[in-house]
Amino acid sequence: MKPSVKTIYVDADACPVKSEIVEICEFVTLPMVFVSSYSHTLTLPSTAKVVTVDNEKEAVDLYLMNNIKKGDICVTQDHALASILLAKGVIALSPRGFVYREETILQMLDARYVSQKHRRMGGKTKGPKPFRQEDRSRFIEQLTKIVTEKEGT
C-alpha cells in the first residue's frame, strides 16, 4: 500500500455496501474503520476495525470528523458530513457511487435545506429512491477506481 491512502472510514449505521468495502479493502490491503452507534450491531471480519459510539444524533459524524485525515476516504450518505470532510482533503463517496465534489456540494446542501424547510411547514417530500443493483455496481466501480488511482496502479 502506498502512503497516499491511509484508511477507508465508513459511516456504517445504514451503509448498504459494507461487504463490498470489506472485499475491496482486503484485496488491496487497505485499513478500514466502520463507525456505528450502539443501536447498530455490525458483523464484520477481523480485518475490519469496528468503532462503536454513543447513540447521540451526531456521534458517528463527530468521531469521523475528529479522526479522519487528509488523503483518507469516507463512505457516507450524509451530505453535511461530506461537505466538512471535503474541506479536510478527504475523498467522500456515497454508497450509490457518487463522489462528492466541492463544485456540487453546496447545491446538494441547498436542496436538502429546502426539503427540510418544506417538511417543517407540513409539506410532503419524496424519500430516497430504492437502492438498486446499479447503485451497488457504480459504488464498486468508483471505490475500486479511487483506491487504484491512489495506489498509483
CATH assignment at residue 47 = 3.40.50
pLDDT: is 81 or 114 the higher one?
Answer: 81
Total domains in the fold of the chain: 1
Name, in order, each residue with C-beta under 8 angstroms of 134's C-beta and a sequence gap of 6 or more. none
DSSP states of 70-130: TT-EEE-S-HHHHHHHHHTT-EEE-TTSPBP-HHHHHHHHHHHHHHHHHHHTT-----PPP
In a domain, residue 1? The reply is no
Model pTM score: 0.83
* Domain coverage including residue 132: 8-151
List, for residues 83-136, the tens digit of each pLDDT value. 999 999 999 999 999 999 877 766 665 566 566 666 777 777 676 788 999 999
> Is residue 73 within 8 Å of 81, Cβ to Cβ?
no
85 belongs to a structural domain: yes
Contacts for 83 with CB less than 8 Å, ≥ 6 apart: 100, 105, 106, 109
